[in-house]
Amino acid sequence: MKRLLAVLLLAVVFAPVAAVAQSDEEAGDVSEVDKDRLGPLRERVRPVSGNLFLKKGRFELSPSGTMSLDDAFFTKYAVGATIGFFPREDLGIHLRFGYAFPTVSHAAQICTTESTGAGTVRGCRPPTFEQLDGRAPGQITLIGGADVEYSPIYGKISLIAEKFLHFDLYGLLGASVVGYNGPNGGAGSKAYMSGGGNLGVGSRIILNRFLAVRAELRDLIYVESVAGTPSSSLRNQLLFELGLSVFLPTNFIAE
């Protein structure tokens, strides 16, 4: 009986030791795992963390150039600037102004028909600016407005040699003031002012902690008086804008 009790006592004492030894054997050589953490693979593939660029509490000053797209009569080239402030990282408030130079669109054509001895001949040619001045819609000269920007997306794209392209994506919505040349009741045109709105999408390519390249695609919607019509009509104009943004202060403290 005493021998049996002694055997049971030894089994109770040495069983945990055997279990620990077995666990260590099943786990393998932990030093090899730790070695991998500092190995060549970890040195080659570094984790991407943190933002190169933050907007909250900063002002944005952005000179820009704008071009109208898909215009039947006048292609507009505008120079201007945008100034904004970001009370939150994903929310900005902007004021914009631009002066536009309308030119005759390559798509504009004047077509006429003439009767000859051989029949009717139809011919088309590009119009001159004087022929469209005050008669064709879309002769915009000034663009101003206030926008609200929502930018929920900040992204990074891996390039080469552990270099990353940082960018953000945003949408905007706002009110606009549009100056344009319209019908004068005769030859030439006169200046008009109109109200409207615009909506669009954009992106910034981050260059460093205070510089970014900004690209926007906006749809400008406004009311315009057109020659030959008794009332004003609602028009829209697609605009592409490219600018260089400077953020002030030039540095920030990551939260």
Q: Are 58 and 51 in contact (CB under 8 A)?
A: no
Residue 218: which residues within 8 A CB-CB, separation 6 or more? 172, 198, 199, 200, 238, 239, 241
Torsion of CA 78, 81, 85, 89, to 10 degrees: 60
Answer yes or no: is pLDDT of 10 > 80.
no
Residue listed under structure tokens 């829209």: 236
What pLDDT does residue 225 have?
87
What is Dmax (Cα atoms) for the chain?
A: 138
Answer yes or no: is pLDDT of 43 > 80.
no
The pLDDT tens digits for 131-171 are 898 888 999 999 999 999 999 999 998 888 778 899 999 99
Residue ranges, CATH 2.40.160.20, the chain: 59-107+134-248
What pLDDT does residue 58 have?
96
Mean pLDDT of 48-74: 89
What pLDDT does residue 30 have?
46
CA-based torsion, 35, 40, 41, 44: positive or negative: positive
What pLDDT does residue 119 have?
60
User: Per mean pLDDT, which range of 14-23, 36-45, 108-117, 122-131 is the poorest?
Assistant: 14-23
Decide which of 130 and 47 is more confident: 130
For 63-119, the DSSP string reads EEEEEEES-SSEEEEEEEEEEEEEEETTEEEEEEEEEEEEEE-TT--EEEEEEETTE
User: pTM of this prediction?
Assistant: 0.75
H helix or E strand, kind and range, residue 229: none
Domain 59-107+134-248 fold is: Porin (2.40.160)
The pLDDT tens digits for 65-98 are 999 998 889 999 999 999 999 999 999 999 999 9
- Residue 74, Cα to own-chain centre: how many angstroms? 25
